[in-house]
């Protein structure tokens, strides 16, 4: 058991490499189905939030102006907003661009009537710790995550969105 | 002296390795820029491919991970 100094140093180096690699590439905790998001007003989001989210089915979507699939998802979200907006469905699109100017430039070309806020501090997206862009969370009437959508995959995602929205809108909230 | 040198190199290794960083998906705006794309100029690509093929008698195998939007 009498290890030479060189061997000890090599072992320590290998250990340090493992520790560093683990800490650098560790994903951290990601929100999953069944989790509840904290109050949106605590995240210092830039933009006006709807007065009351209670009892609403919410699509929380993280997007950026530089993200191609996000551009594809915008007309789809606009359609969903028009189709289900009056039935108790709300879209909260959270922009994660570095500057709000980039977001505004994008919105000049891609008009949207649903709620859009800018997460300048990256607190909300950091809490959600999403693993790809875009990522959206479908929240039920009680504010619990009912589904997580990683990326936007055209017709497949649209089908899933519609099925989830219709199911969640028809679900009664248990009275407490 | 040798011990100190080893200790110092070990410390330097830890400091250098801790510089590794994981770019989060929402931090990839610069990587998503058009200028970061390896295939942004088709003519340059075809010329490089031709030179590579002529010199090495091999083709393909282009492209590495890291750049781009990383979306979907």
Q: What are A89-110's pLDDT values in tens digits?
A: 999 999 999 999 999 999 999 9
Contact A9, B12 (CB under 8 A): no
- Interchain pair A67, B71: CB under 8 A: yes
A96 contacts in B (CB within 8 Å)? 26
Q: What is the DSSP string of A79-103?
A: HHHHHHGGGTEEEEEEE--SSHHHH
Please give the distance of CA B32 from its chain centroid, rounded to a whole number: 14
Q: Kind of pairing, strands A89-95 and A57-63? A: parallel
Contact A146, A164 (CB under 8 A): yes
Which of A56-60, B1-5, B25-29 is predicted with the least confidence, judged by mean pLDDT? B1-5
Say what the pLDDT of residue B10 is.
Answer: 82
**Chain A nearest CA to B27, separation (Å):** 8
Q: Give the mean pLDDT of A119-123.
A: 94
Return the sign of the alpha-carbon dihedral for residues A95, A100, A102, A107: positive
Say what the pLDDT of residue B22 is.
Answer: 81
Distance (Å, whole) CA A28 – CA A31: 10
pTM of the model as a whole: 0.79
Query: Measuring CA to CA, which residue among A136, A144, A146 is closest to residue A167?
Result: A146
Say what the pLDDT of residue A1 is.
Answer: 47
- Interchain pair A67, B69: CB under 8 A: yes
Average pLDDT value for chain A = 87
Q: Which residue has the higher pLDDT, A20 or B36?
A: B36
**Which residues are A62's β-sheet partners?**
A94, A135
Residues in chain A: 176
Q: Give the active site residue among A37, A58, A64, A70.
A: A70
Q: Respond yes or no: is residue A70 known to be catalytic.
A: yes
Q: Kind of pairing, strands A135-139 and A57-63? A: antiparallel
Q: Which helix (H) or strand (E) element contains residue B50?
A: helix B42-56
Distance (Å, whole) CA A117 – CA A137: 15
The ipTM is: 0.77
CA-based max dimension of chain A: 76
Q: What are B33-64's pLDDT values in tens digits?
A: 888 877 788 898 889 888 888 888 887 776 65
Say what the pLDDT of residue B18 is.
Answer: 73
**Chain A nearest CA to B20, separation (Å):** 6
- Interchain pair B29, A66: CB under 8 A: yes
With 90 as the cut, is the pLDDT of residue A12 above it?
A: no
Q: Give the active site residue among A37, A59, A67, A80.
A: A67
Contacts of B63 (CB under 8 A, 6+ apart): B38, B39
Distance (Å, whole) CA A76 – CA A61: 12
With 60 as the cut, is the pLDDT of residue A34 above it?
A: yes
With 70 as the cut, is the pLDDT of residue B19 above it?
A: yes
Which of A12-21, A39-48, A54-63, A167-176 is predicted with the least confidence, judged by mean pLDDT? A12-21
């Amino acid at each position: 058991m009498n290890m030479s100094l060189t061997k000890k140093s090599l072992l320590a180096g290998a250990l340090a490499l493992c520790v560093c690699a683990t800490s650098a590439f560790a994903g951290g905790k990601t929100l999953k189905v069944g989790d509840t998001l904290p109050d949106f007003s605590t995240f210092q989001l830039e933009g006006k939030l709807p007065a009351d989210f209670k009892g609403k089915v919410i699509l929380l979507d993280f997007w950026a102006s530089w993200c191609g699939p996000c551009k594809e998802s915008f007309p789809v979200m606009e359609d969903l907003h028009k189709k289900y907006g009056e039935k108790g469905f709300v879209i909260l699109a959270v922009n994660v661009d570095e500057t709000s100017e980039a977001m505004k430039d994008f919105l000049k070309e891609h008009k949207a009537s649903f709620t859009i806020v800018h997460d300048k501090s990256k607190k909300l997206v950091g809490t959600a710790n999403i693993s790809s862009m875009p990522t959206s969370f479908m929240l039920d009437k009680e504010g619990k995550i009912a589904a997580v959508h990683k990326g936007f995959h055209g017709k497949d995602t649209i089908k899933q969105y519609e099925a989830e929205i219709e199911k969640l809108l028809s679900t009664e909230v248990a009275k407490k | 002296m040798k011990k100190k040198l080893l200790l110092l190199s070990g410390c330097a290794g830890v400091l250098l390795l801790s510089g590794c960083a994981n770019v989060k998906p929402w931090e990839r705006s610069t990587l998503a820029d058009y200028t970061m794309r390896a295939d942004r100029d088709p003519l340059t690509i075809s010329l490089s491919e031709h030179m590579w093929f002529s010199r090495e008698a091999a083709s393909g195998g282009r492209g590495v991970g890291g750049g781009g939007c990383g979306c979907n």
